[in-house]
Chains A and B, each alone.
Chain A
Amino acid sequence: AQSVSQHNHHVILSEAASLELGCNYSYGGTVNLFWYVQYPGQHLQLLLKYFSGDPLVKGIKGFEAEFIKSKFSFNLRKPSVQWSDTAEYFCAVMDTGRRALTFGSGTRLQVQP
């Protein structure tokens, strides 16, 4: 069974700091990779996705992620965070045969003004 690990459970940054959230997955087959964001009290929204091609993908709100196949990683980055980025971030993997998403445990990001 596939699994997703997000090692940072709670990250606190000041505005303008750079962000990198780690995500590692365990699955040997073809996967699609996602980052979702959940703002307080809201539903999950897609930040970005990787299916194939360029391993560096850009998403909304200045976020990007890099797929490194050899490391089974899909880390999320943003060069300069804003207070409005305070939210919980979930990495997810989709087994292309099964379709359902397996989520990591989430990383709570708190950006201080």
Chain B
Amino acid sequence: DAGVIQSPRHEVTEMGQEVTLRCKPISGHNSLFWYRQTMMRGLELLIYFNNNVPIDDSGMPEDRFSAKMPNASFSTLKIQPSEPRDSAVYFCASGFGVTQPQHFGDGTRLSIL
């Protein structure tokens, strides 16, 4: 079991640039979640998908953030344009059903200068 795979592990870029984070969920899982972790706000859910369909995006901070899941094995989280306050660790998690726990990837540490 390869686990949830996220890329890149680290990203440093200048403000105003577009940032794309990628996630490959565990095969067979039908739910995918994007979380953001900061010192100030802790772990926050940004958006989650079920069967590739966005179910709840109420945690997406603003229109600069967008997420897609074109198929069951891939999702992206895009920030355009990026701002310094977007600096955080972004985790992707996947799960199956409501009785199984979510499995987390190693995260992408994003720094916007």
Contacts and interface: CB of A to CB of B under 8 A. Distances in A.
Which of A32, A51, A100 has the largest number of chain B CB atoms within 10 A? A100
Contacts, number: 45
A75 interface: no
A112 interface: no
B105 to A, nearest CB: 6
A73 interface: no
A25 interface: no
Contacts of A102: 45
A43 B91 contact: yes
A44 interface: yes
Contacts of A87: none
Given A99-B48, A99-B50, A99-B95, A34 B101 contact: yes
Contacts of A43: 91, 104-107
Please report whether the interface of chain B is mostly helix, strand, loop or mixed according to DSSP: strand
A51 B99 contact: yes
B31 A99 contact: yes
Contacts of A100: 33, 45, 48, 56
Interface residues of A, number: 23
Contact of B104 (A44, A96, A98, A106): A44
A42 to B, nearest CB: 7
Interface in B16-37: 31, 33
Interface in B30-86: 31, 33, 42-45, 48, 50, 55-56
A46 interface: yes
Contacts of B43: 90, 103, 106
Nearest to A45: B104
B102 interface: yes
Contacts of B91: 43-44
Interface in A58-113: 90, 94, 96-106
Interface of A: 32, 34, 36, 42-46, 49, 51, 90, 94, 96-106
10 contacts: A36-B104, A43-B107, A51-B99, A90-B43, A98-B56, A99-B31, A100-B45, A103-B43, A103-B44, A106-B43
